[in-house]
């Protein structure tokens, strides 16, 4: 029989499967059944709570010779030669003792320690119960037979209940030792014996399996032996085999000293402990309740924060990695760094960079230039202002700090254009117009022009006339197109209009400008990429124009064919912009909102996004320097 866990089509119509067709099987050898049952457990439980598959194989191969024989049952539905696992329960048969076992001992006491249970999500979604009371009854039956074969008496079955399972176990007759604070001990230890993860609280629940034992109380000393047995077998058996003596001593002291000590310290002083029902609903539906076992974070797969230790930081790469384990803006930047690295190291990803704000004036141009030179950027969508100021910078025109104590009127009269705290010379802009006119004069008048072609021509002119480092020249030399969707809203757009103005006055034909040449070229680049990433600095038109290609291609497909089969969404996205979403503008729109438009892949499909609410002028240098350092380390 070939199990087919979660493969719905292999089992046929699930709606016809009835509960009387549920079968049970004890797994006694490492075969396909074990592989699929273990995968079902791994889908439900964190690695900190689940032993490795190899450990399960070792337990099964050892059989009853092992100190705690494995007990694993699956419930399954079958049809023909196919079977679908509906649920799995794993546990161990454990002898409760303090000293060495004696085969002649006629009063050997055993417990069945239930470890894990899980249901198939496919069958759950169909409303078919697979790992329920019937499966538990089957587990206890197997435990009883195993213990009888070992020549002992079956005293109790014991389990660690999570919050959502308390009602289920209570209905099966399991009871809580009143007021006992129980902790699940760690099962993984580092080489020096320190725990890889700390203990965390859970609810221990017990059910008497021997008619001679009371169901409402348990001897305190026997309860201590049970918990001690579970700790020694579950948490310390494997470390004892693999750790050095001093490391194992440290691990043992942690489990049997610290953790077990906390449990014993919570027990009442009386000689017996009441076993009480812990039902959440007693005829009244309650949605909220708390138990002793309040969440400790790790059992719910929360990530730990770590204090920043500057003494261990050697470069920006390590700084940004450490910041991802901090809080607030530091964590946001650290997480953005990881997304950026994933995007730039994905060999099939084409990265689009969108730019708005006075990036060239802010003197971030060499950072972008180096990203282009390193092959990390494949396309740029920018405001025209950034390229206008960049054109000036790359041909050697200066920018200045705004001096204190001067008025804007004074700056205007002297030809100084203020951009917040920085000066652009009006004379430089005049020179830009003259240089652009020279470039356009040699352009074939019969051919329409677009922004990407014009920026390419400027790059070619700069490389010939005034070679230097900058965004325009690096893009030209590396064949990276630069698109300016709002071209007329810039000095370059104004200069282009002035050029045509003079041609009209001279009765000469004008150069036509066709923005859809840009649009179509950009669409082809994005559509032909294996995967896509976008790094957005600021917001504005470049961001929206860079993203809307996805909705454009989707609309064509869907409106022509009735269904869209081309997936051109962005897989990666990093946005560095201070604009919040509540202003309602595109600059502040979240990537989550973009998922609804079909612009981005959802996280459960593999999408990875980060949004840093900050001025990119002081965030970007740290981010990109860290990226360069990590990439350089890997290349050596």
CA contacts within 13 A on the Cβ side of 197: 24
Same domain? 235 vs 364: no
The Cα angle at residue 196 between residues 295 and 60, in degrees rounded to 5: 95
391: phi then psi, degrees, rounded to nearest 5? -55, -45
- Containing 116, the helix (H) or strand (E) segment is strand 109-119
CATH code, 450 = 3.40.910.10
Same domain? 74 vs 194: yes
How many distinct structural domains can be found in the chain?
A: 2
- State the pLDDT at residue 4: 43
29: phi then psi, degrees, rounded to nearest 5? -150, 150
Structural domain of 232:
2-280
Domain termination site, one of 498, 523, 548? 523
Does 111 fall in a domain? yes
- State the pLDDT at residue 174: 93
CA 95 vs CA 505, 516, 560: distances in Å: 103, 78, 70
Asked if 334 and 515 touch (Cβ cutoff 8 Å), the reply is no
The mean pLDDT value for 576-584 works out to 90
Buried b (16+ CB within 10 A) or exposed e, 403-438: eeeeeeeebeeeebeebeebbbbeebbeebbebbee
Same domain? 270 vs 412: no
CATH code, 171 = 3.40.630.30
What digits encode the pLDDT tens for the residues 124-138? 777 666 667 888 899
Of residues 490 and 279, the one with the higher pLDDT is: 490
Same domain? 273 vs 368: no
Same domain? 95 vs 221: yes
Same domain? 355 vs 275: no
Same domain? 164 vs 271: yes
Does 465 fall in a domain? yes
Does 145 fall in a domain? yes
Same domain? 32 vs 149: yes
Does 289 fall in a domain? no
Domain termination site, one of 224, 258, 280? 280
Same domain? 405 vs 499: yes
Of residues 62 and 232, the one with the higher pLDDT is: 232
Asked if 376 and 456 touch (Cβ cutoff 8 Å), the reply is no
Does 610 fall in a domain? no
Dihedral Cα 299, 305, 306, 310, nearest 10 deg:
160
The mean pLDDT value for 463-482 works out to 95
Same domain? 125 vs 271: yes
CA 236 vs CA 42, 98, 206, 485: distances in Å: 21, 15, 22, 65
What digits encode the pLDDT tens for the residues 159-178? 998 877 888 888 899 999 99
What digits encode the pLDDT tens for the residues 294-321? 777 766 778 888 899 999 999 999 999 9
Same domain? 6 vs 128: yes
Confidence of residue 17 (pLDDT cuts 50, 70, 90): low
Does 43 fall in a domain? yes
- State the pLDDT at residue 104: 53
Asked if 222 and 180 touch (Cβ cutoff 8 Å), the reply is no
The mean pLDDT value for 482-487 works out to 96
Query: Is 286 in a helix, a strand, or coil?
Result: coil
Does 109 fall in a domain? yes
Domain termination site, one of 460, 493, 523? 523
- State the pLDDT at residue 285: 55
How many C-beta atoms lie closer than 10 Å to residue 114's C-beta? Answer: 24
Query: Is 541 in a helix, a strand, or coil?
Result: helix
Same domain? 110 vs 225: yes
pLDDT above 60 for 497: yes
Does 623 fall in a domain? no
């Amino acid at each position: 029989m070939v199990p087919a866990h979660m493969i719905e089509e292999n089992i046929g119509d699930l709606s016809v499967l009835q509960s009387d067709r549920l079968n049970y099987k004890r797994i006694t050898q490492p075969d396909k059944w074990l592989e699929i049952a273990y995968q079902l457990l791994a889908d439900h439980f964190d690695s900190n709570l689940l032993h490795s598959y190899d450990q399960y194989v070792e337990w099964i191969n050892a059989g009853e010779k092992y100190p705690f024989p494995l007990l694993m049952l699956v419930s399954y539905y079958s049809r023909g030669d196919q079977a679908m696992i509906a649920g799995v329960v794993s546990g161990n048969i454990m002898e409760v003792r303090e000293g060495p076992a004696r085969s002649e001992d006629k009063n050997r006491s055993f417990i069945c320690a239930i470890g894990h249970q899980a249901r198939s999500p496919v069958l759950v979604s169909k409303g078919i119960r697979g790992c329920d009371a019937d499966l538990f009854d089957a587990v206890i039956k197997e435990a009883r037979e195993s213990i009888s074969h070992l020549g002992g008496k079956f005293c109790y079955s014991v389990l660690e209940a999570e919050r959502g399972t308390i009602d289920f176990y209570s209905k099966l007759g399991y009871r809580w030792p009143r007021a006992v604070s129980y902790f699940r001990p760690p099962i993984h230890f580092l080489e020096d014996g320190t725990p890889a993860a700390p203990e965390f609280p859970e609810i221990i629940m017990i059910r008497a399996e021997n008619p001679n034992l009371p169901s409402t109380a348990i001897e305190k000393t026997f309860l201590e032996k049970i918990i001690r047995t579970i700790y020694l077998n579950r948490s310390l058996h494997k470390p004892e085999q693999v750790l050095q003596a001093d490391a194992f001593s440290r691990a043992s002291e942690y489990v049997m000293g610290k953790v077990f000590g906390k449990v014993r310290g919570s027990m009442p002083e009386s000689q017996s402990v009441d076993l009480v029902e812990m039902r959440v609903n007693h005829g009244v539906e309650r949605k909220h309740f708390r138990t002793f076992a309040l969440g400790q974070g790790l059992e719910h797969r929360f990530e730990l924060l770590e204090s920043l230790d500057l003494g261990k930081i050697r470069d920006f790469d390590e700084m940004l990695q450490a910041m991802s384990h901090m809080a607030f803006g530091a964590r946001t930047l650290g997480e953005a760094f990881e997304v950026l690295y994933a995007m730039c190291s994905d060999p099939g990803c084409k990265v689009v960079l969108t730019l708005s704000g006075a990036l060239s004036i802010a003197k971030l141009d060499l950072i972008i230039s180096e990203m282009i030179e390193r092959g990390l950027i494949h396309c740029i969508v920018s405001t025209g202002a950034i390229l206008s100021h960049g054109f000036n910078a790359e041909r050697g025109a200066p920018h200045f700090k705004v001096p204190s104590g001067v008025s804007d009127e004074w700056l205007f009269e002297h030809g100084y254009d203020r951009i917040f705290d920085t000066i652009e010379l009006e004379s430089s802009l005049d020179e830009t117009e003259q240089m652009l006119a020279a470039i356009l004069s040699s352009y074939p008048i019969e051919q329409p022009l677009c922004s990407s072609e014009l920026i390419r021509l400027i790059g070619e002119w700069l490389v010939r006339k005034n070679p230097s480092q900058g965004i325009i020249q690096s893009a030209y030399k590396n064949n990276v197109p630069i698109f300016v969707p709002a071209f007329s809203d810039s000095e370059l757009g104004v200069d282009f209009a002035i050029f045509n103005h003079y041609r009209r006055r001279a009765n000469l034909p004008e150069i036509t400008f066709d923005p859809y040449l840009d649009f179509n070229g950009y669409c082809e680049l994005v559509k032909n990429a294996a995967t896509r990433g976008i790094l957005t600095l600021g917001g504005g038109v470049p961001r929206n124009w860079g993203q809307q290609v996805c909705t454009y291609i989707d609309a064509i497909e869907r409106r022509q064919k009735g269904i869209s089969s081309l997936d051109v969404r962005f897989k990666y996205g990093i946005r560095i912009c201070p604009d919040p979403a509540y202003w309602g503008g595109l600059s502040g729109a979240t990537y989550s909102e973009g998922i609804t438009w079909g612009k981005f892949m959802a996280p459960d499909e593999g999408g990875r996004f980060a949004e840093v609410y900050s001025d990119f002028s002081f965030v970007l240098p740290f981010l990109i320097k860290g990226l360069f350092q990590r990439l350089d380390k890997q290349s050596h």
